[in-house]
Amino acid sequence: MLWFKHPSEFSRDEGVSRFFDAAGKNAVTAYGFLMFVLEAVASRMKVIEGDLICSATYSITQWGRITHSHPNRVRKYLKLCKVIGWVQVEFEDGMCKVSVPQMVEWRDEYTRKSGHTPDKVAQSRARTEQRESRQEGALSDHLTAKEPGLKPPPDFWVTGNLQEWAAKNFPSVNIEQETAKFLRHEFATLRNDWDAAWETWIQRGAEYQKRYDGSSSQPSHNEQLLILGKDLGLVQKSDESDAAYLNRVNERNKSRIAKLDS
């Protein structure tokens, strides 16, 4: 359906109030998250064998895109939704199914008050479902599209497969620490496959660690600039002295930091 009806005192519903209490000081953010979830469920409502099904199933990453939230917040708030009572949340194999049977009552109440006859409702529902089918296809294309960028997207998530790959091939690397650095980094060239970019980052982290592992001395300032130059995509010119090249890397890095802080 293209829209859904809910009570004007929805925010004071007993279940929603419990949801707010569980969210604490982030109640306003949690409320917006809940409305995004309800909109997603409403958009997936369909009739199957005469029954109106009110549920939506997406991966955690997709729920993150829908609710404009980081996957960690998605997991937290979806679990909190269970306290509402009329919201059912099921996790399985990286997917999350959210069901809201209460929407059937909201829709039936509208049908009774609006005076729409069952046959008109059925005809309207059929036309709506056709439109929704086309919209779902467009939404799916949008969610799976990869847009190139210089920084990892806010909803980038290290999947279980990526974690297993890193643990198997580079067990000495601190995954959480390197991922935090990866998310803050701005690359010199556009990327559109962030999983591959993350794998390259972890591999470089392992090489860097191996290079200086066991040594109490930290890499010199010039050595750090040489490494940074590679990350920034700067190549030393044939007629450029080492000092000039390092100075160019330093200036580019200062400019990049100033841009990020602005």
What are the backbone angles phi and psi of residue 4, rounded to the nearest 5°? -140, 150
Chain position carrying tokens 């997709």: 62
Residue range(s) defining the domain that contains residue 246: 160-261
**219-223: Cβ within 8 A, 24+ apart:** 222/246
* Residue 95: strand pairing partners: 59, 92
Sign of CA dihedral 226, 229, 233, 237: negative
Of 144, 176, 198, which one is at a domain's C-terminal end?
A: 144
209 shares a domain with 131 = no
Whole-prediction pTM: 0.41
| Distance from C-alpha of 166 to C-alpha of 161, rounded to nearest angstrom | 9
Cα 121 to the center of its chain, rounded Å: 36
| Distance from C-alpha of 174 to C-alpha of 159, rounded to nearest angstrom | 16
Tokens for 123, please give them: 């005809």
| Distance from C-alpha of 79 to C-alpha of 60, rounded to nearest angstrom | 12
pLDDT in tens, the chain (262 residues): 455 566 667 778 888 888 888 888 888 888 889 889 888 888 877 766 556 778 889 998 889 899 998 888 888 899 888 888 878 889 888 789 998 887 777 665 545 555 544 445 455 556 666 666 666 655 455 444 455 678 888 888 888 889 889 888 888 888 888 998 999 888 888 888 899 999 999 998 888 877 766 544 556 677 777 787 888 888 888 888 888 888 888 888 888 777 766 6
Residue 171 forms part of a structural domain:
yes
Using CB atoms within 10 Å of the CB of residue 51, give its burial: 0 to 12 exposed, 13 to 18 middle, 19+ buried.
exposed
**192-201: Cβ within 8 A, 24+ apart:** 192/146, 192/147, 192/148, 192/149, 193/146, 194/152, 194/153, 194/156, 195/159, 195/162, 197/152, 198/152, 198/156, 198/158, 198/162, 199/162, 199/165, 199/166
Check residue 211 and give its pLDDT: 73
171 shares a domain with 56 = no
Of 117, 144, 171, which one is at a domain's C-terminal end?
A: 144
Check residue 253 and give its pLDDT: 82
Of 110, 144, 178, which one is at a domain's C-terminal end?
A: 144
3-state secondary structure of 51: strand
**How many domains is the chain built from?**
2
Residue 30 forms part of a structural domain:
yes
Cβ contact 107:4 at 8 Å = yes
As a whole number of Å, the end-to-end CA separation of the chain is: 42
